[in-house]
């Protein structure tokens, strides 16, 4: 029986000897590699925080002391140390979430959060502790250097600095990366702390001297810390944090558990806000991840644990098509530039950056800045393409509305992983975009159904210079091309099934739901209906041709992978009423709410978005209307 098997609560950690702590760290890494290679998940970030998380739970007493993990994809170790060691169904229905989850444990506080929010959560909890006289507890926020590129983190730091009586410890987990190498002035400053030759030489000399003395670990660290303190202003400038009024300690080797524990105990005893700066290595202890420069192990599918290679090669996907088309556009249009928020490779902009490095801008985890900076670029004569995951555009809605749309800026937003994504959980489904963006005046949104329509939509989008444009597409592999029978004023007619004279139904497929629309049509035709299937491609604003087609049918069904409330179907119904079209519009999509983590297929099944479910609901609606 290994040490990990005997850890059921964080209190068990505090009974371990230093040697056992090191043994436990090895066991945790082996567990992560073996488990995540079978299920997929965030491997690299968790391998990097093993010693750090163990030290946190040895120094602080969760759940009385609150631990908040920014983003949360590095919380697997925290789960293991708080009694959750069944990873067999990680990120699958009924299994552990890939992020902290209140439904799983009292040790979890912030659900599947977006980045750069942890410090605001921690500030609020610490303030509540002060107001309610709870002086016996601390708040610990773990935030990566990548998340510190987000403006919200600095808003929080500005407020935390004034709270000298708040027992708040901020652990900066500094590995030089988020999804990709951390960008910007903050990255440069932290890199200075990491790589200053004088600091490194002094630290190396001190460790060698301590080794020769044989001094016990904790006392040795205290001695070295005292010597370091006098030279730190010379060899490791720290003014960026201390000028805010927040006590700073570090940088500390995040893989030296004893050193991290001493630093955390000092921070805990201080009684006010403290930043503990630890340096970690993403993917630590797993050779394929340590040797990988492309950060493929940030999140993985099923892999061979020995080699890190995927069990099955990925099929050519939507992101790859976007990547290729962007390079083609870039060669033709020197005014087109690319912007991303710390996700250059995941959103497919790496090839563009390789060919056009001076026209590619990674702004860090700062979607708000990305949108407004793009508006400025458009004003100055460029056409920016801002590529983010659909769920992350939620963070920049005000900037899209007031900085881009209000100023009629020609900016294209490309939303990867739109619709139902599934296993990453509630906050990562890209289901909000169409309903949210439907209220933006002048905005045009395309939902391509296959590779040709994606390429065509992107080319059309960058030709618009007087309004924001959006191109959205799902996660995963491409479907085979779906040709149109004909195009009616911009609306593609994809199929006509059933016999003439039967009641006519118009089925509108939106983007990735077009194959579902076609299958639904066949099922309805088998029940004696004549069905026309169309794809508007550009769904916002609602095309007038689509309203006209609605008026030519007895019943309209819209099928989308976004919210029903405020979605494409709702907008079509509204525009039809305004045009005096009385045809009822039946909207099929995602109901208002949050979706638990599960596979996409399971979510589709649960939401009754399969063709047979939709056909049944349409027949029920028609039967009710005929009574």
**In residues, how long is the chain?**
627
Token pair 């179907």: residue: 569
Position 458 in a domain = yes
- Same domain for 260 and 381, yes or no, is no
Does the residue 390 lie in any domain? yes
Q: What is the pLDDT of residue 444?
A: 98
Is 88 a known ligand-binding residue? no
Which pairing describes strands 486-488 and 491-497: parallel, antiparallel, or unpaired?
antiparallel
User: Any binding-site annotation on 211?
Assistant: no
User: In terms of domains, do 285 and 345 share one?
Assistant: no
309 domain-assigned: no
Do 579 and 548 share a structural domain?
yes
Residue 162 bears catalytic tag:
no
Q: Note whether 497 and 448 are same-domain residues.
A: no
- Residue 613: exposure state from Cβ atoms within 10 A (0-12, 13-18, ≥19): middle
Structural domains counted in the chain: 3
Query: What is the C-alpha to C-alpha distance for residues 436 and 590, in angstroms, rounded to an integer?
Result: 14
Same domain assignment for residues 171 and 25 = yes
The single residue of 261, 325, 367, 560 carrying the catalytic annotation is: 367
* pLDDT value, residue 141: 94
How close are the terminal C-alpha atoms of the chain, in Å? 69
Please indicate, yes or no, whether residues 454 and 545 belong to a single structural domain of this protein: no
pLDDT (tens digit per residue) in 356-415: 999 999 998 899 999 999 999 999 999 999 999 999 999 999 999 999 999 999 999 999
Q: How far apart are the C-alpha atoms of 458 and 92, rounded to whole Å?
A: 34
pLDDT at 200: 47
What percent of the chain lies above the pLDDT cut of 90? 57
Instruction: Determine, yes or no, domain membership for 298.
Output: no
Active-site choice (29, 166, 177, 282): 282
Q: Which residue, 583, 594, 588, 518, is CA-closest to 553?
A: 583
* Strand ranges for 185-335 from DSSP E: 247-253, 274-279
255 is in an annotated binding site: no
Whether 146 is in a domain gets the answer yes
Q: What is the pLDDT of residue 314?
A: 57
Q: Is residue 222 part of a domain?
A: no
Question: Which domain CATH number covers 529?
Answer: 3.40.50.920
Is 395 an annotated catalytic residue?
A: yes
Closest CA to 618 of 497, 518, 496, 524: 524
Instruction: Tell me: is residue 129 an annotated ligand-binding position.
Output: no
Do 406 and 266 belong together in one domain?
Answer: no
| 555 marked as binding residue | no
Q: Which of 166, 167, 177, 395 is catalytic?
A: 395
Q: What is the pLDDT of residue 609?
A: 94
Confidence (pLDDT) at 425: 74
Instruction: Tell me, yes or no, whether 284 and 327 share the same domain.
Output: no
Per the annotation, does 147 bind a ligand? Answer: yes
Do the beta carbons of residue 290 and residue 422 sit within 8 Å? Answer: no
Is residue 460 located within the same domain as residue 492? no
Rounded to an integer, what distance in angstroms lies between the CA atom of residue 614 and that of residue 608? 7
114 is in an annotated binding site: yes
Pair type for strands 412-416 and 444-446:
unpaired
576 in a labelled binding site: no
User: Among candidates 373, 332, 309, which has minimal Cα distance to 455?
Assistant: 332
Helix (H, G, I), strand (E, B) or coil at 68: strand
Predicted pLDDT of residue 299:
63
Residue ending a domain, choose from 248, 273, 290: 290
User: Which of 448, 472, 496 is the last residue before a domain boundary?
Assistant: 472
Q: What is the pLDDT of residues 505-546, one digit of tens each?
A: 999 999 999 999 999 999 999 999 999 999 999 999 999 999
Question: How far is CA 56 from each of CA 106, 117, 185, rounded to the nearest angstrom?
Answer: 16, 20, 29
Tokens 């099923």 correspond to 302
Residue 373 assigned to a binding site? no
Residue ranges making up the domain that contains 586: 486-626
pLDDT of residue 288: 63
Domain final position from 472, 495, 520 = 472
- Residue 347 belongs to domain with CATH number: 3.40.50.970
- Looking at the fold, whether 349 and 387 belong to one and the same domain comes out as yes
Residue 586: per-residue pLDDT? 96
DSSP run (H or E) holding 221: helix 217-235
> Is there a binding annotation on residue 409?
no
| Position 51 in a domain | yes
Residues 332 and 438 in one domain: yes
Indicate if 449 belongs to the active site: no
Q: Do 542 and 520 share a structural domain? A: yes
By the 10 Å C-beta count (0-12 exposed, 13-18 middle, 19+ buried), 24 is classed as buried
Q: Distance between CA 535 and CA 533 in Å, rounded?
A: 7
374 close to 386: Cβ distance less than 8 angstroms: yes
Question: Sign of the C-alpha dihedral, residues 71, 73, 77, 82?
Answer: positive
The answer to whether residue 310 is domain-embedded is no
pLDDT of residue 409: 97
pLDDT tens digits for range 194-227: 544 444 444 555 555 555 555 555 555 555 555 4
Ranges of the chain with pLDDT below 70: 1, 112-113, 176-243, 285-301, 303-316, 626-627
């Amino acid at each position: 029986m290994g040490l990990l098997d005997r850890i059921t609560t964080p209190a068990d950690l505090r009974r371990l000897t230093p040697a056992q702590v090191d043994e436990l760290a090895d066991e945790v890494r082996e567990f992560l590699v073996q488990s995540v290679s079978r299920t997929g998940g965030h491997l690299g970030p968790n391998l990097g925080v093993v010693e750090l998380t163990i030290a946190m739970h040895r120094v602080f007493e969760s759940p009385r002391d609150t631990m908040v993990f920014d983003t949360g994809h590095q919380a697997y170790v925290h789960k293991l140390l708080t009694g959750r060691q069944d990873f067999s169904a990680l990120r699958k229905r009924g299994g552990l979430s890939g992020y902290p989850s209140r439904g799983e444990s009292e040790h979890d506080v912030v659900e599947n959060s977006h980045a750069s929010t942890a410090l605001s959560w921690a500030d609020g909890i610490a303030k509540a502790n002060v107001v309610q006289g709870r002086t016996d507890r601390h708040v610990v926020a773990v935030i990566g250097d990548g998340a510190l590129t987000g403006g919200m983190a600095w808003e929080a730091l500005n407020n935390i600095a004034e709270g000298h009586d708040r027992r708040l410890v901020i652990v900066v987990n500094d590995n030089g990366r988020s999804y990709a190498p951390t960008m910007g002035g903050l990255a440069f400053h932290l890199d200075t702390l990491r790589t200053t030759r004088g600091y490194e030489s002094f630290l190396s000399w001190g460790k060698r001297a301590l080794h020769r003395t044989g001094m016990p670990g904790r006392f040795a660290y205290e001695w070295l810390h005292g010597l370091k303190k006098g030279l730190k202003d010379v060899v490791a400038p720290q003014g960026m944090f201390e000028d805010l009024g927040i006590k700073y300690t570090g940088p500390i080797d995040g893989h030296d558990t004893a050193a991290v524990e001493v630093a955390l105990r000092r921070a805990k005893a201080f009684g006010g806000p403290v930043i503990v700066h630890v340096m970690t290595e993403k993917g630590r202890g797993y050779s394929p991840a340590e040797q990988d420069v492309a950060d493929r192990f940030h999140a993985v599918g099923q892999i061979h644990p020995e080699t890190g290679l995927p069990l099955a090669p990925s099929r050519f996907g939507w992101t790859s098509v976007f990547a290729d088309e962007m390079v083609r556009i870039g060669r033709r249009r020197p005014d087109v530039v690319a912007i991303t928020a710390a996700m250059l490779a995941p959103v497919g902009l790496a090839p563009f950056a390789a060919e056009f490095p001076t026209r590619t801008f990674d702004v860090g985890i700062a979607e708000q800045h990305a949108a407004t900076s793009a508006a400025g670029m458009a004003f100055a004569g460029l056409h920016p393409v801002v590529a983010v995951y659909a769920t992350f555009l939620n963070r920049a809605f005000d900037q899209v509305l007031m900085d881009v749309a209000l100023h009629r800026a020609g900016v294209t937003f490309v939303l990867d992983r739109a619709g139902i994504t599934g296993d990453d959980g509630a906050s990562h489904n890209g289901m909000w975009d169409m309903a949210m963006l439907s209220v933006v005046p002048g905005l045009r949104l395309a939902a391509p159904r296959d590779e040709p329509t994606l390429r065509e939509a992107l080319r059309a989008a960058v030709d618009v210079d007087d309004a924001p444009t959006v191109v959205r597409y799902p996660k995963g592999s491409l479907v085979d091309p779906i040709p149109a029978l004909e195009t009616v004023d911009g609306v593609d007619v994809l199929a006509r099934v059933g016999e003439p004279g039967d009641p006519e139904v118009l089925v509108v497929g939106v983007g990735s739901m077009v194959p579902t629309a076609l299958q639904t049509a066949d099922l309805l035709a088998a029940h004696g209906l004549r069905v026309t299937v169309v794809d508007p491609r550009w769904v916002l604003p609602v095309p007038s041709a689509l309203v006209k087609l609605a008026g030519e049918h007895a019943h309209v069904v819209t099928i989308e992978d976004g919210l029903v409330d405020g979605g494409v179907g709702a907008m079509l119904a509204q525009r039809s009423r305004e045009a005096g079209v009385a045809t009822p519009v039946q909207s099929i999509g995602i109901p208002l709410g949050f979706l638990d983590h599960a596979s996409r297929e399971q979510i589709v099944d649960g939401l009754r978005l399969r063709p047979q479910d939709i056909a049944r609901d349409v027949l029920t609606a028609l039967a009710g209307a005929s009574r």
